[in-house]
Structure 1
Amino acid sequence: MDSPDPTTRTASRQQGRHAGLDRQRIAEAARTLEPQSLSIQAVADILGVDRKAVNYHVTNLSGLLELVAVDAFSMNFTDVDLSSTADWKEACRAYAFALHDSLMTTGALVSYFRFQDPGDFSMLGPADTVMQRLYDAGFNDEQVGNAIILIVNVAMSAARDDVMVGSDGTHPQVPLILDALRDAYPRQFPALQRSMSGTPSRAPYGPAQLDASMDIVTRGLESILLASQPALSAHS
């Protein structure tokens, strides 16, 4: 039996950097797969290249999942424009919701999201706008830095929780906590018992929860700003 023509093998499965791949093409191919079906080999098969060609740009499965998560996020977040939002509180709130909503598009891959491309300035613009509004309001460098990190953390945490909420609107951890409380003594953990008994009526996840979280954040920032203003006046 004749062996396959080496030229044919090379043409059918291009390798390494010579395959003409880039991270965008890999992301586009991966986008067509369900998260549970994602693998470097599956992406290579879609692109018609050797696995090594994909490995040249994405070294392992974790890196591929991060790439797909960032791709899903950036497709939505690139349209975010906060330049017309003048009030610092509204800018903070709008930025948090934009982050949250864009992260939600990553679905089950939300935990793999990382800010990984320093050349993607579209992801930095909204953050810069929010920070400028905080500076304009009178916050100092440390306060602005702390604020933007807090807002990002709140939005990312909310998105991760909301992705986990099932079709019935229930977070998988809530029934576990309720079961544990039912097994506890009646007078154990009174505050937790009281709070969890009201959980179904107060919608602890979703937009209402993020809105409540951002209300706490902005009120806290406002109190910091007001407390620092007398100190500034005393030195002027």
Structure 2
Amino acid sequence: MKRPQTVRSRGQRAGLDLDQIVETAQSFEVEDLTMQSLAKAMQVDRKALNYYVKDREALLTILAHKAFADEFSPDAIRAAEDWRDASRIYASSFVERALSLGKLSEHLWFGEPLTTWSLEANESLFARFFEAGFTDEAATRLVTMLSTLCLGHARDVIQATGSMEKPRPKALRAALERLNPEKFANLLRILDHGYDTYGDEQIDFSIDVFLVGAEAVLKRDLRR
């Protein structure tokens, strides 16, 4: 009597797994990576890749999260003096890792199950907030705020890299040149100051403001 054959998917028949796909995809420049070029490099049918990866956008998201998490160590966050120090370390590491992604940072999002690749650093930061007395709701909102702040800054810096004039001042200057300057005295004055909102001073200022706000939230919750 013959044994019934096990039905396998295209991806399983091809002997693929997600780690193999990611490893091969990492050898490509972002602009050269397509599902077809990846399939050719792996010597499989393009449809075989779809068992694990829906399309190019999903693949780039996987690569971004993997590259981001590989060196986002939780150790320094765990060893931090307190939640404030832990927040600064988290933010510094976050920005550094996001900047290292270059163009791939455009595909770094935090609404996907794939964030399991970077959970340890987040777990460590949540632990420091919990130890300090923050409620779970406050900690959730604060970590979300800090992550969003850091990712936005990193993308700003990447976008401005190599530009003679930074994107925001350039766009504002172009807009004001077409309008009545008397109506926008404050914007013109700010523009003339030429403050650098893409450097370390900007992210340091943002984290300082974040910590002041977080401190106020903690005091409010502890009084309840």
Q: CA deviation at 1:95?
A: 0.8
- RMSD value, Cα: 2.2
- Matched with 2:204 is 211
- Matched with 2:3 is none
SS at match of 1:139: coil
Cα 1:37/1:119, change in 2 over 3 Å: closer
TM-score (norm 2): 0.85
- Matched with 1:85 is 80
Select which of 3, 12, 16 maps to 2:11: 16
Moved more, 144-153 or 187-196: 187-196
The one-letter amino acid of 1:213's match is S
- Of all paired residues, the percent bearing the same amino acid is 29
State the distance in 2 between where 1:131 and 1:85 align. 13
Q: CA deviation at 1:41?
A: 0.6
Cα 1:127/1:16, change in 2 over 3 Å: closer
Select which of 44, 52, 65 maps to 1:49: 44
Q: CA deviation at 1:79?
A: 6.6
State the distance in 1 between where 2:191 and 2:105 align. 26
The one-letter amino acid of 1:69's match is A
Larger gyration radius, structure 1 or structure 2: 1
Cα 1:225/1:96, change in 2 over 3 Å: same
State the distance in 1 between where 2:160 and 2:40 align. 33
Cα 1:182/1:80, change in 2 over 3 Å: farther
SS at match of 1:86: coil
State the distance in 2 between where 1:174 and 1:165 align. 11
What per-residue deviation string (whole Å, max 9, x for no partner) do you get for residues 154-198 of structure 1? 111112111111224643343111111233222222322222222
Give 5+ residue unaligned stretches, structure 2: 1-9
The one-letter amino acid of 2:11's match is G
Is the CA contact (8 Å cut-off) linking 1:27 and 1:68 kept in structure 2?
yes
Cα 1:167/1:119, change in 2 over 3 Å: closer
State the distance in 2 between where 1:144 and 1:129 align. 12
Select which of 147, 155, 160 maps to 1:160: 155
State the distance in 1 between where 2:72 and 2:39 align. 27
Between the two proteins, the alignment pairs up a number of residues equal to 214
